Chain A
Amino acid sequence: MNVNDQTDQTRFAEVFLPHLVDAFRLARWIAGNRADAEDIVQEASLRAFKGIRTFSGGNTRAWALTIVRNASYSWLAKNRPSMVVLTEDLDQRAREEMEHAAGDDDVPTPEAALIAKMEAEEVRNAVAALPLPFREVLVLREIHDLDYRSIADVIQVPIGTVMSRLARARKLILAALQESTP
């Protein structure tokens, strides 16, 4: 092993490895199960190692999550192509639905107390049922605690799109939980 490889491995250990748990959780929410998530993270790790010299400083977590997210989408395109939807169509639909919903009292607001009483499992199932573009934004915000700017960097969309997808994701989940309440 030469000096450059030593440096690459050290940098990889410093930049990517500290975010392994975050990487796994993102892949798990995108792919839907642990085994596939681990395969995705292994592939993402290799990509990160090969591209470690392109990391020019800054937020290592966002950099690592961007690679994991891209690796997840490659994996989905190959193994679950039906899950990869056209996000432009979804965004357009979400905007229209939100505009339509304004002034529309069809969806009652679930009380906070009601949600607090629900099993965590039930809430997570509702997240798992969200269309992918909404699910990933919600997961990056709620599970990874990323701010809007970082989410925009990871999924490579404008902040306005992050905001509308996040608003839509929460609204969809609240409506789904409300429906599931007897």
Chain B
Amino acid sequence: MSVSEQDELILNAYLDGELASIEAARFEQRMAKQPGLAAEVDARRALRDRLRSGFAEDVPSDDLRRRIMASVDSAGERKASSWRDRGPRWQRRSW
């Protein structure tokens, strides 16, 4: 079934829980009368379920955290040394 552009936006917002409760109720009434609309929502819900399955193993390597901490540590040290270099004039040696 094809739906209008406006209905396309509404049915997506309904699926995503972005409609106010009164609008959602109104849309549910329309779905009850138009099974085609309900099928469009169901298809998108099935798509979501399929996309969300099997993501538990999709995580970064342990090495990434170590790499991040190393680069952050070295950036922190560079920042600290640049502060030291810009220390108060009276601290600088002048000979």
A interface residues (Cβ-Cβ under 8 A, vs B): 1-2, 4-5, 8-9, 12, 17, 20-21, 24-25, 28, 34, 37-38, 41-42, 45-46, 49-50, 95, 98-99, 101-105, 107, 109-113, 115-116, 118, 120, 123-124, 127, 141-143, 147-148, 163-164, 166-167, 170-171, 173-174, 177
Nearest residue, chain B, Cβ from A145: B52
Is B39 positioned at the interface, with any CB of A under 8 Å from its CB? yes
State the 10 A-B residue pairs at the shortest beta-carbon distance, nearest first.
Answer: A112-B42, A112-B46, A115-B46, A24-B60, A123-B50, A45-B68, A5-B76, A102-B4, A98-B5, A142-B51
Inter-chain contact B12/A170, CB cutoff 8 Å: yes
The number of chain B residues touching the other chain, given as a range, is 35 or more
State whether A174 and B68 are in contact (beta carbons under 8 Å apart), knowing that A25-B55, A109-B40, A120-B53 are contacts in the complex. Answer: no
B25 at interface by CB-CB < 8 Å = no
Chain A residue at minimal CB-CB distance from B36: A109
Given known contacts A103-B2, A141-B16, A163-B9, A28 and B50 CB-to-CB distance under 8 angstroms: no
Q: How far is the CA of A17 from the CA of B76 in the complex (A)?
A: 16
In the complex, what's the smallest C-beta–C-beta distance from A113 to chain B, in angstroms?
8
Say if the beta carbon of B88 comes within 8 Å of chain A: no
A101 to B77, alpha carbons, bound, how many Å?
A: 57
The tally of CB-CB contacts under 8 A between chains A and B is 135
A167 to B48, CA, bound (A): 13
Residues of chain B within 8 A of A12, CB atoms compared: 72
Nearest Cβ on chain B to A50's Cβ, whole angstroms: 7
B3 — which chain A residues lie within 8 A by C-beta?
102
Residues of A within 8 A of B55 (CB): 25, 143
Interface assignment of B58: CB less than 8 Å from any CB of chain A:
yes
| Chain A: CB-nearest residue to B77 | A1
The answer to whether B50 and A116 touch across the interface, beta carbons within 8 angstroms, is: yes
Contact of B76 (CB < 8 Å), options: A8, A116, A127, A141: A8
Q: How far is the CA of A143 from the CA of B59 in the complex (A)?
A: 13
The residues of B that contact A38 with a CB separation of less than 8 Å are: 60-61, 63-64, 67
A–B complex contacts, Cβ < 8 Å, 14 sampled: A28-B58, A46-B71, A95-B5, A102-B2, A103-B2, A109-B1, A112-B39, A115-B47, A120-B54, A123-B51, A141-B16, A142-B52, A148-B13, A170-B12
